[in-house]
């Protein structure tokens, strides 16, 4: 998986659509944070959130 896909996957697993609509700023902040991580960090994080 590439970095963009992992960022999107992790962010959407943390924020479902309903929560995203109510807290757009938090969603954007989380996405920005994840985009600053390197690919290996994202892979590790995705294992924790997805599994």
Domain locations along the chain:
3-50
C-alpha dist (Å) from residue 28 to 14, 16, 25, 51: 12, 13, 5, 23
CB count in 10 Å sphere of residue 37: 16
How far, in Å, CA of 24 to CA of 15, rounded?
10
How far, in Å, CA of 50 to CA of 12, rounded?
10
**Predicted pLDDT of residue 21:** 61
Q: Is the pLDDT of residue 44 over 80?
A: yes
Residue range 29-48: average pLDDT?
A: 89
For the stretch 20-37, pLDDT in tens is: 566 777 888 888 999 999
Query: Which residues 6+ apart lie within 8 Å of 14 measured at CB?
Result: 30, 49
Higher local confidence (pLDDT), 18 or 46:
46
């Amino acid at each position: 998986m590439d970095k963009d896909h992992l960022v999107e996957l992790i962010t959407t697993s943390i924020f479902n659509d309903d929560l995203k609509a109510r807290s757009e700023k938090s969603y954007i902040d989380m996405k920005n944070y994840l985009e600053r991580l390197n690919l290996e960090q994202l892979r590790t994080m995705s294992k924790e959130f997805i599994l």
